[in-house]
Amino acid sequence: MTDLAVDSEFTFELVACRWAEREWPPDGPRADAVLVARQVGTRKRRWDTLVVEADPAGLRGRDLLGPDELDSDLLHVVRHAPAEWAWYRDALPHPGYPWRYVREAIHRAAARDAVETRRRGNRIELRRVAPYPDWISRVVAIENKPDLDASAARALASQIRYDVDCGLLDEVWVATRATDESVPAVLLEEFPVEAGVLAVDPLSGTAEVLWHPSRLSPDDESEDRRTVIAERAYGRGWRSYVDTMRPDCRHFELTEVGGAFVPHCAAKGRCQTNAECAGSCRSFEPEPPGWRTRGWPIEGGPGKGIRSLLERRRERVRGREREEE
Ligand code: SF4
């Protein structure tokens, strides 16, 4: 595989996510379970790579509430759902918005088996299926900038400053491509000193710490927002990129780079970005029906196989992160 395989930020980001999944933390032994997601965050800021360090027992407790993320409305219900049946208005604190929205959230939570509900007359009662655990240890953001030159470093500096100051994160990193030459110190000086800098070699899937970050102190009042962010990471992971691409195109392939499966386009002869791999792509061609004959329509063609391969990998990692020491 030539270096051409990692000529986009998108591919670099996938390799960085896989590296984090395998090797996190970069500067010591792994003490907690690790969840890695890409492109999750808040309305103001989405992070390229988000690492949530989690208590393995807490994570197993979280699994009892289903595999999908809980948004803030669902969290309000699930966190306060009582152990014994109770009318929802007695059980849940007033959320500061109309109760009808709470009822909608209760129905959504019940549809996912995250709480139980029943009707007593015209009252809705609920009880929990499991307590919402304290599972989040640390939330860490990594900004990926493979080609770090002076203007890229300058453009990034204010974003990194925001990340350091936002009160939501425990640590902030910038990941850049490892090169034979050392990264000029003047570039690193553009970033706040609290942010760490990693040099990732996308071909070998290894990384080296160039600058150690400071531990930040998230604001106490940001706990709910941190939980929402961690929930997004929990539900989405980083392999869901395939959902917005065209694995059903005959040219879509997965190739292994730096230990990660990344999309590769046979028509373009390179790794495509997720933006260009869409129905509007001029080279898009549906996979021929003949490719689907084995097991089709139950198992589908190669496109569907790619999805399930990524899903199996995700499940394997999920299982490993929950194992007891
Ligand atoms: S030809 Fe276009 S749609 Fe097909 S895999 Fe390549 S980039 Fe994606």
pTM of the model: 0.90
Question: Is the CB–ligand 1 distance for residue 10 below 6 Å?
Answer: no
According to DSSP, the β-strands at 196-201 and 206-211 are antiparallel
Instruction: State in Å: Cα 279 to ligand 1 middle.
Output: 8
Pocket probe mutation, ligand 1, options 11, 283, 287, 291, max atoms within 8 Å of Cβ: 283
247 CA: nearest ligand 1 atom: 5
Residue 1: the pLDDT is 44
Q: Which helix (H) or strand (E) holds 188?
A: helix 185-188
Domain ranges within the chain, ordered by starting residue? 3-59+137-239, 65-128, 241-321
> Which residue pairs, CB below 8 angstroms and at least 24 apart, start in 78-82?
78/109, 78/114, 78/115, 78/128, 78/132, 79/132, 81/109, 81/115, 81/126, 81/127, 81/128, 82/126, 82/127, 82/128
Distance between CA atoms of residues 51 and 76, nearest Å: 24
Residue 292: the pLDDT is 64
Which two three-digit tokens encode residue 53?
Answer: 């360090």
CA-nearest residue for atom 5, ligand 1, is 252
Distance between CA atoms of residues 260 and 160, nearest Å: 26
Distance between CA atoms of residues 248 and 273, nearest Å: 16
Instruction: State in Å: Cα 262 to ligand 1 middle.
Output: 13
Question: Is the CB–ligand 1 distance for residue 284 below 6 Å?
Answer: yes
Instruction: State in Å: Cα 4 to ligand 1 middle.
Output: 17
Question: Is the CB–ligand 1 distance for residue 268 below 6 Å?
Answer: yes
Residue 296: the pLDDT is 47
Q: Are 41 and 143 in contact, with CB atoms under 8 Å apart?
A: no
pLDDT in tens, the chain (325 residues): 444 457 789 999 999 999 999 999 998 888 899 999 999 999 999 999 999 999 999 999 999 999 999 999 999 999 999 999 999 999 999 989 999 999 999 999 999 999 999 999 999 999 999 999 999 999 999 999 998 888 888 999 999 999 999 999 999 999 999 877 766 676 778 889 999 999 999 999 999 998 999 999 999 889 999 999 999 999 999 998 988 999 999 999 999 998 899 999 999 999 999 999 998 999 999 988 776 655 544 445 667 778 888 888 888 888 888 776 5
Which two three-digit tokens encode residue 247?
Answer: 């694995």
Pocket probe mutation, ligand 1, options 11, 241, 244, 251, max atoms within 8 Å of Cβ: 251
Residue 187: the pLDDT is 77
Q: Where does residue 86 rank: exposed (0-12), middle (13-18), buried (19+ CB within 10 A)?
A: middle
- Phi, psi at 210, each rounded to 5°: -95, -30
Instruction: State in Å: Cα 280 to ligand 1 middle.
Output: 9
Closest Cα partner for 233 from 40, 18, 66? 40
Residue with tokens 């929402």: 228
Which two three-digit tokens encode residue 253?
Answer: 């392939």
